Amino acid sequence: MTWIVFALLFWITMWILNVRLANAERNRITNWIVPALFGISLLVLWEGFVRGLDISPILLPTPSAIAIRFSTSIPILWVDFVQTFVKGALSGYVIGCSAAFLTAIAVDKSSFLKRGLLPVGNFVAALPIIGMAPILVMWFGFDWHSKSAVVVVMVFFPMLINTVAGLSAKDTIQNDLMQTYGASYWQSLFKLSLPAAMPFIFNGLKICTTLALIGAIVSEFFGSPTRGMGFRISTEVGRLSLDMVWAEITVAALAGSAFYGMMALIEKGITFWHPSQRS
């Protein structure tokens, strides 16, 4: 009981502190502290309730147990991370996004293709493509090649739609100006279309980071070598060692956030001129 009371009290104090901080003048520090405090208070609430209500660790382990398990099994987690993220997700992400990018540039030249591919691409992007995973695992075998193939298929269409939309983002006036300069197709592509498309392209790249990770992990449920994050999650769930599963989820969350954050950072550097980046 004391655990629950303590957790609730902690939560309330943190919330009051957060309300104070949020209503004070907004600056860089409070922008970081407020969400951080909220996250910490959530963890404390979780820990307190699990301990106070005596929830079995088989159902929901405490954050502290997960942290201990995380720190003691770093070698296994690292092997899984390399297998799933570096070999599966990253390679598929690079191949899929660059293929979509090149296709988009080719498609952009023809308005007929654009009118045909965009509705189809929009449709495919809404489909449960993850269902292709068993088929691709059958085609490419259990190792990372099949995972990478699933990722390629998953990221291709969202990336294609975003890039095509981006390439038509330039104004007619700007296009006319390029023509009065007598710019060739390639010159106007590199100096006008591509820079103007960058916000859209990065939007696609950011969406695809999560898709890539999901694709790589879920396709391991359909068969994998004896390492990998998806493999570990499904086998450890079977052995009911949920703290290991949560440690694996932590790795996935960290990797996903870092991947997304890196893309956002690169975006900030490249599209510094866009209104959404200035504020």
Partner 1 sequence: MNKFRFFWHKVGPVLTVLLVIIAIWYAATIWLNSSWAYDKAKRADTTISFSQMVSDTMIQDKPLLPAPHQVVKEIYKTTVLKKITSKRSLIWHGWITLSATLLGFAFGTTFGILLAIGIVYSRAMDMSVMPWVITSQTIPILAVAPMIIVVLNAVGISGLLPKAIISMYLSFFPVVVGMVKGLRSPDQMQIDQMRTWSASKISSFWKLRLPSSMPYLFASLKIGIAASLVGAIVGELPTGAVAGLGARLLAGSYYGQTIQIWSALICAAILAASLVAIIGIIEKHTLRRMGIQL
Q: Name the site residues for partner 1 (rule: CB under 8 A).
A: 15, 18-19, 21-23, 26, 30-31, 34-35, 37-39, 42, 58-60, 112-117, 119-120, 123, 126-128, 130-132, 134-135, 137-139, 209-210, 213-214, 217-218, 221-223, 229-230, 233-234, 237, 242, 245, 249, 252-253, 256-257, 259-260
- For the record, the structure tokens of 211 come out as 């898709």
Residue (192 or 213) nearer to partner 1, CB: 213
Q: Are the C-beta atoms of 77 and 248 separated by less than 8 Å? A: yes
Smallest distance from partner 1 to CB 169, Å: 19
Contacts 24+ apart (CB under 8 A), 114-120: 114/164, 114/168, 117/160, 117/164, 118/161, 118/164
Of 177 and 253, which has the nearer Cβ to partner 1?
253
Structure tokens, 195:
């820079």
- Tell me how far, at minimum, the Cβ of 188 lies from partner 1, in Å: 24
Count the alpha carbons within 13 Å of 247 in the hemisphere toward its beta carbon: 23
User: Which residue's CB is nearer to partner 1, number 198 or number 264?
Assistant: 264
Task: With CA atoms as reference, report the closest residue to 144 among 73, 237, 211, 227.
Answer: 227
Q: Whose Cβ is closer to partner 1: residue 78's or residue 123's?
A: 123
Pairwise CA distance, residues 250 & 66, whole Å: 9
238 versus 269: smaller Cβ distance to partner 1: 238
Retrieve residue 213's tokens. 């990770």
* Pair of tokens at residue 248: 């694996």
CB of 221 to partner 1, least distance (A): 6
CB of 58 to partner 1, least distance (A): 7
